[in-house]
């Protein structure tokens, strides 16, 4: 069974859906003593099978496969859809925005089929607690389960679910806010405030996520009592990361832009680098997650093809400007040295 004690460096490379967590990135993190994670939220069972097999052929170390728990969702009336398409057309009049059709998200049961076959060490979830049969099946196969919490209340539910650890996601974190209910009041706790609360009140291990960029940040989390840290932004600029060159260029810019929260891309709050899209979508109507995500897909894909960072989602945490361009093995080594010094 997976144990944090077996990691030679207490680092989980964060799952990052959308092609960033390549088999090369994930396997290299695991090869260098951390836990490499795949962001499989939007992936087909075939891709999951392929990428996991490939990573397993490249490392003997532990691997984490991460999924979203998509909420049930329905299309609103056509007037509302038209209102949501309007601001997108203002940005790209040449794109024909297609109204998404159900099913609006992948079937979790089918996505998990390759997981039960290939048995990665860890299975983790974002946006809530998986159904009980998933927890039981994972337990029977010796697969550890981790779940994101953004508040003590969510963490306590996770602790009761039979999960093995909690990922304490602070407000500094890049990517989607893992809050269970998208319209619930968000306490917006910092990573260390949330971690502190969890360590006082929860009995299962807690992992700190959000704004952890170097060995000193890792040391601080470990000294507080975290079992590990989960780092996303720190890995975005590694050559093994699947982030595009224009995405990396903005992260590494001499005068970095701020990272801000937007609902514009997906319909749920997520933190990323400010660009033309996020500014234009401020205060605009968006459809529910993940319908909005599918709706904006054509725009984002066209932007990716033309290397236009202004219309892409550039998820990144509040401290992204500390990201380094090192290879994974060099970054892991640097983190280890900083942690020990
Ligand atoms: C580009 C990007 C994509 C992300 N995608 C996911 C995801 O698919 N699943 C998930 O659980 N967390 C995801 N996250 C959130 C991370 O798990 C983690 O909370 C975050 O990276 C920590 O903050 P940091 O970026 O400051 O290190 C993503 C983060 C980033 C930066």
Q: What is the pLDDT of residues 110-163, one digit of tens each?
A: 999 999 999 999 999 999 999 999 999 999 999 999 999 999 999 999 999 999
Name the residue of 40, 149, 174 whose CB sits within 8 Å of the most ligand 1 atoms, as the mutation to test its pocket. 174
Span from the CA of 260 to the centroid of ligand 1 (angstroms): 14
Question: Which pLDDT belongs to residue 105?
Answer: 97
Nearest atom within ligand 1 for CA of residue 20: 1
Share of the chain above pLDDT 90, in %: 100
Q: Can you tell me which atom of ligand 1 is nearest the CA of 172?
A: 26
Quote the ligand 1 centre to 68 CA distance (angstroms).
12
DSSP SS3 for 216 = helix
- The mean per-residue pLDDT over the stretch 257-272 comes to 98
Q: What's phi and psi for 315, nearest 5 deg?
A: -55, 135
Q: Identify the residue whose C-alpha is closest to ligand 1 atom 4.
A: 16
CATH number of the domain residue 62 falls in = 3.20.20.70
Encode pLDDT of 16-75 as tens digits.
999 999 999 999 999 999 999 999 999 999 999 999 999 999 999 999 999 999 999 999
The H or E element spanning position 261 is strand 259-262
**Ligand 1 pocket list (CB less than 6 A):** 14-17, 20, 39, 41, 66, 126, 148, 169, 172-175, 209-212, 230-234, 315-317, 319
Structurally, the chain folds into a number of domains equal to 1
Atom of ligand 1 nearest to the CA of 234: 27
Q: Mean pLDDT across the chain, nearest whole number?
A: 98
Query: For 182, left (φ over 0), alpha (ψ -120 to 50), or beta?
Result: alpha
The pLDDT of residue 246 is 98
Provide the residue range defining the domain that includes 218.
4-340
In what helix (H) or strand (E) does residue 292 lie, and over which residues does it extend? Answer: helix 291-305
Across the beta sheet with 122-126, the strand order is 11-13, 228-231, 206-209, 165-169, 144-149, 122-126, 63-68, 36-39
**How does pLDDT run across 216-230, given as a tens digit for each residue?**
999 999 999 999 999
Distance (angstroms) between ligand 1 centre and the Cα of 125 equals 12
- Counting atoms of ligand 1 from 1, which one is nearest the CA of 232? 21
| DSSP state letters, 130-176 | PPHHHHHHHHHTT-EEEEEESSHHHHHHHHHTT-SEEEEE-TT--EE
pLDDT band at 175 (very low <50, low <70, confident <90, very high): very high
**C-alpha 176: how far from chain center:** 7
Answering whether pTM is above 0.75, one says: yes
Could you give the percent of the chain with pLDDT greater than 70? 100
């Amino acid at each position: 069974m997976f144990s944090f004690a077996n990691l030679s460096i207490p680092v989980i490379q964060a799952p990052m859906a959308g092609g960033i967590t390549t088999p090369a990135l994930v396997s290299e993190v695991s090869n260098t003593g951390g836990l490499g994670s795949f962001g499989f939220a939007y992936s087909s069972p075939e891709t999951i099978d392929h990428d996991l097999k490939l990573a397993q052929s490249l490392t003997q170390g532990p691997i984490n496969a991460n999924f979203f728990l998509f909420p049930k969702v329905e299309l609103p009336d056509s007037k509302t859809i038209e209102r949501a398409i309007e601001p997108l057309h203002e940005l790209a009049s040449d794109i024909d925005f297609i109204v998404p059709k159900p099913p609006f998200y992948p079937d979790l049961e089918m996505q998990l089929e390759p997981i039960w076959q290939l048995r990665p060490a860890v299975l983790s979830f974002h946006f809530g607690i998986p159904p009980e049969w998933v927890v039981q099946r994972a337990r029977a196969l010796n697969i550890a389960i981790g779940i994101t919490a953004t508040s003590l209340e969510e963490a306590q539910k996770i602790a009761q679910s039979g999960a093995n650890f909690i990922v304490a996601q602070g407000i500094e974190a890049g990517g989607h806010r893992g809050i269970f209910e998208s319209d619930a009041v968000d306490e917006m706790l910092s990573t260390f405030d949330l971690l502190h609360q969890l360590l006082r009140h929860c009995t299962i291990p807690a992992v700190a996520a959000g704004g952890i960029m170097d060995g000193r940040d890792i040391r601080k989390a470990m000294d507080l009592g975290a079992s590990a840290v989960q780092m996303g932004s720190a890995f975005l600029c590694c050559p093994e990361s699947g982030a595009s060159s224009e995405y990396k260029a903005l992260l590494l810019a001499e005068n970095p832009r701020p990272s801000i929260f937007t609902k514009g891309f997906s319909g749920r709050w997520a933190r990323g680098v400010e660009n033309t899209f996020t500014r234009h979508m401020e205060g605009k109507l968006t459809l529910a997650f993940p319908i909005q995500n599918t709706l904006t897909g054509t725009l984002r894909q066209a932007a990716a093809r033309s290397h236009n960072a202004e219309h892409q989602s550039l998820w990144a945490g509040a401290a992204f400007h500390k990201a380094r361009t090192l290879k994974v093995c060099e970054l892991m080594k640097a983190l280890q040295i900083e942690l020990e010094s």
